[in-house]
Structure formats: C-alpha cells, structure tokens
Structure 1
Amino acid sequence: MALIVNQGFAQKVKMKSIFNGKTLKGWTVTPEDNIWWEVKDGNIHTENDPTKTGSTLWTNKEYGDFIVELDFLMGKGTVDSGVFLRTDKDQIQIGISGSLKRDMTGSPYIPGKSYPKEASGVKELLKLNDWNTMKIKVEGQIYTVWLNGQEVVTYQSENMPEKGPIGLQLHPSNEMSIDFKNIKVGKL
C-alpha cells in the first residue's frame, strides 16, 4: 500500500500488481509482431533486434489518475527507454536521451518540446548496475516522479488525455536491453 501525502492529508492507495512474473498477460505489444518483449527469470526483458526496431509494451487497461511503481535494471548498450503515461506523447525517460546524449532518467519527454523540465538529483540516486525503483503519480495533467524513494520532478502537461494505458518503451535505433519487475498500479 502506498501512502501519498496530498494537500495536507494522507491518502492510502491500494497498489495492485499488473505483471504476474510469468507471462505478458494483460499487455499488448506494438508493433504486434512481438520479437522484443519476453518474460525471463521473472522479469519483463526487452532488447532491440538486429534492425534496431523500437517497440512499446502497453497495458490492456486504461487508467485515469493513478500511481505506477516499477523496478528497472538497465542492461547492455545505450539504454534509452521510458514509461508512457496514458499516451505516447507523455513519457518519463529512463536512460540516455538520444537527442541530448546524456542521462535524463526521471525527466518528462514531450514530442515537440523535448525535455521541458529536468529531474534533479538523479546522478546521485541512479544505480547503473543494479535495480532502481521508479514511482510516478499522475493526477489530472500533473505528474510527479520519485527515483529510489526521492522525489526528482513534478511537471504539468498540457494535452494529456484523461484516461489511457501505461507503456514501457524500447527506443528504436539503439542496441540496448532493459528489464522491468514489480510493476504495480494504484488508482487515485
């Protein structure tokens, strides 16, 4: 159970696992011809193919206001991944930005705006060769991101839909791998 303090009162949020550790049941891959995503050793593992094609793993369910929490482990290559929030137009970066050529983990990425706000303190918090925990609270157009228990950014989006799926990104044009586990969502 997550405890979120908001406007002076505590709000308990029941967190529910959305990954069973065995299959990708409850998730959809785009493009549909899945050669990128698999369950390996109880984790969701993704890796680019030789053509460096990108892909997104989407929840089948859509969410309004929610908290998503997950663990990620950056693998080989130049990791450029992220978590999509209700749409592929609002993303929280994990790893190296292809455009900025530096780590932007925890920062929002908006197509056409690039990184409108940079997450703070990430260099000290991010464990490059170990599991990291990211928590994202999405309420209306505002999202807040925590990395390994520390708040790193709050951002107000402009055109985020009221409801949509959560996505995990495998960026195209890279040679990389990343693993995810302990993926939980709580509705606000």
Structure 2
Amino acid sequence: MKAPHFLFFILFLCTSMIANAQEAKLKKIFNGKNLKGWVAPVNKDCWTVSKGILYVKNEPTKKGEILWTEKSYQDFVFQADFLMGEGTVDSGIFLRSENDQVQIGISGSLKRDMTGSPYVPKLRYPVEASGVKDILKLKDWNTLKIKLVGKTYTAYLNGKEVMTYTSADIPASGPIGIQLHPGNEMSISYRKILMAEL
C-alpha cells in the first residue's frame, strides 16, 4: 500500500473508532416483563411491571424505596422514558451511589420542579438545569439521558442538553438506582430503560 493511501486508511480507521466510541449502542437493562437484573425491592407493591412499563407508586406508609441495578457501572450513558403520575412526583436517577442523583419532579426542599438538576445531599442542588420549563411534558412521556464520564455528568431532556455537573465525591463505580421518594403520595412510570457502557 502506498504511503498516501496508508495514511488515508489509518485516518479513516481512527475516525471510525472515535465515531463508534461516541455512539455507544444503548442496550436494554429493563426487559419490560419483570425486574430481572435489578435488586429485588423490599416492597414489591411499589414496583409493578406490565407490557413494557415499570409502574412506580408509593404505598400507604409512604416509606419510599430505591430500585438498584444488580450490576455496577463506571462510565456510561443511561436513558429512560418517564411519565409523571399522580400526586407530588419526586423521583430521580441515582448515579453509582446515593451521593449523586439527577432529579425528576418536585424538590421536597425547594417545593418546585427541578427535573434534570443534580441533587447532592451535602450541597442540595449545586446547579439548576436550564430550559426545562419549556421542554418538560407534564402529561406525556419524556426522555431523560444521562452521560457520566469520570466525575462529570450531563443530562439531556427530550434531546436537549439541560445540565452538566462535576461531582467531587461521586464514586468511580457503582449501580444505577431509580428513586421512589419517601413521604409523598405519588406515582411515576418508566419505560425503555437503556444503558451503554463507555
């Protein structure tokens, strides 16, 4: 192979590898039939699955719960559709531990919608997601995508970037959790829960 052709081939190969890395293929981590691949919840009445949808609803004592993946992850892209239900919806996605969460719904402390914002217990909401009011659909399905690389995570709501945050205390590896916040009468539904490891 002549030198110019060889250089072109190497450049093409590198470009393809970068493109593939950037477009990591999302795979199902929720099969839509049961909770296989997830740590069995204590209160199974809070988590029901039917026809591809995970229904999440607080029980009368409002204890709340977190549904964790069995597997731990390092760098990844997580994506799920969610539909707000009844009551004061306060949910979210935990990233590798309970230290970092991307909020879905009403903040218990701020008493307003903070969807797409990071919640860190020591700092509460260190930054606020932008443009959510114009993007969020309260009566229809929304898509939340979270990309986490190292200590930095970025949230996208319905295809639009709304937040980027770098967390000092996020662990290097851990499971992904779906939160059912305690203390509220609420329901929320999830579907098409996907993950791509980077």
SS of residue matched to 2:133: helix
1:112 deviates by 1.6
CA distance in 2, matches of 1:155, 1:118: 10
Give the alignment's TM-score, normalised by structure 2: 0.88
Identify the match of residue 31 of structure 2 among 13, 20, 25.
20
Aligned to 1:116: 126
Amino acid at match of 2:185: E
Aligned to 2:95: 85
SS of residue matched to 2:134: helix
Which deviations, in whole Å up to 9, do the C-alpha atoms of 1:54-82 show, x marking residues without a partner? 10110001100000000000100010000
Which deviations, in whole Å up to 9, do the C-alpha atoms of 1:124-173 show, x marking residues without a partner? 00000000000000000000000000000000001111110000000000
Q: Is the 8 Å Cα contact of residues 52 and 192 (structure 2) preserved in structure 1?
A: no
Greater share of residues in strand = 1
**Structure 1 spans left out of the alignment, 5+ residues:** 1-8
CA distance in 2, matches of 1:125, 1:171: 23
Which deviations, in whole Å up to 9, do the C-alpha atoms of 1:111-133 show, x marking residues without a partner? 02110000000000000000000
Q: Is the 8 Å Cα contact of residues 18 and 183 (structure 1) preserved in structure 2?
A: yes
Greater share of residues in helix = 2
Q: Is the 8 Å Cα contact of residues 69 and 184 (structure 1) preserved in structure 2?
A: yes
**Structure 2 spans left out of the alignment, 5+ residues:** 1-17
Give the alignment's TM-score, normalised by structure 1: 0.93
Amino acid at match of 1:13: A
CA distance in 1, matches of 2:45, 2:168: 34
Highest CA radius of gyration, 1 or 2? Answer: 2
Q: Is the 8 Å Cα contact of residues 64 and 164 (structure 1) preserved in structure 2?
A: yes
Aligned to 2:109: 99
Aligned to 1:175: 185
1:14 deviates by 1.5
Q: Is the 8 Å Cα contact of residues 29 and 55 (structure 1) preserved in structure 2?
A: no
1:29 deviates by 4.1
SS of residue matched to 2:44: coil
Amino acid at match of 1:88: E
Identify the match of residue 62 of structure 1 among 66, 72, 92.
72
Give 1:88-167 correspondences, 5 Å limit. Answer: 88-167=98-177
CA distance in 1, matches of 2:37, 2:151: 25
SS of residue matched to 1:84: strand
Give the alignment's Cα RMSD to 1 decimal: 1.0
Identity of aligned residues (%): 60
1:35 deviates by 2.6
Moved over 4 A (4+): none
CA distance in 1, matches of 2:134, 2:51: 29
